Amino acid sequence: EVQLVESGGGLVQAGGSLRLSCAVSGFTFSNYWMTWVRQAPGKGLEWVANIKEDGSTKNYVDSVKGRFTISRDNVKRSLYLQMNNLRSEDTAVYYCGRWEVAAIDSWGRGTLITVSS
């Protein structure tokens, strides 16, 4: 069974940093692109970033470029999102997902980030 479990969420002050992790099981992690998607309270989905199987290619939504960094450790079967200079508009539930030719075919349950101003 494919499982993705996010962790690292919490309350942080504006301007602060946070690192999210996503531990996966049930599939060969190193064979898949991975992605982060967020959802602000009561709002729609927003794609944040994705990363190639070997970490050599990364894409970001404009609003997080220069502040967020997606990375992965294929040995530890884990995906990460380093978030710096956080803003109130970054408050959201962050989901990690398995990316299969632009389809996010498996999702974690999400972790909530609250940025206080």
Partner 1 sequence: QSVLTQPPSVSGTPGQNVTISCSGSSSNIAINYVYWYQQLPETAPTLLIYRNNRRPSGVPDRFSGSKSGTSASLAISGLRSEDEADYYCAAWDNSRSGYVFGTGTKVTVL
For partner 1, the binding residues (CB under 8 A) are 35, 37, 44-47, 50, 59-62, 95, 101-105, 107-110
Helices (H), 12-95: none
Pick between residue 27 and residue 107 the one whose CB is nearest to partner 1.
107
- Closest CB 28 distance from partner 1, rounded Å: 19
CA–centroid distance for 56 within its chain: 17
Copy the structure tokens of residue 32: 């898949």
- Closest CB 15 distance from partner 1, rounded Å: 24
Q: Distance (Å, rounded) from C-alpha 18 to C-alpha 11?
A: 9
Pick between residue 48 and residue 115 the one whose CB is nearest to partner 1.
48
CA–centroid distance for 30 within its chain: 16
Pick between residue 46 and residue 74 the one whose CB is nearest to partner 1.
46
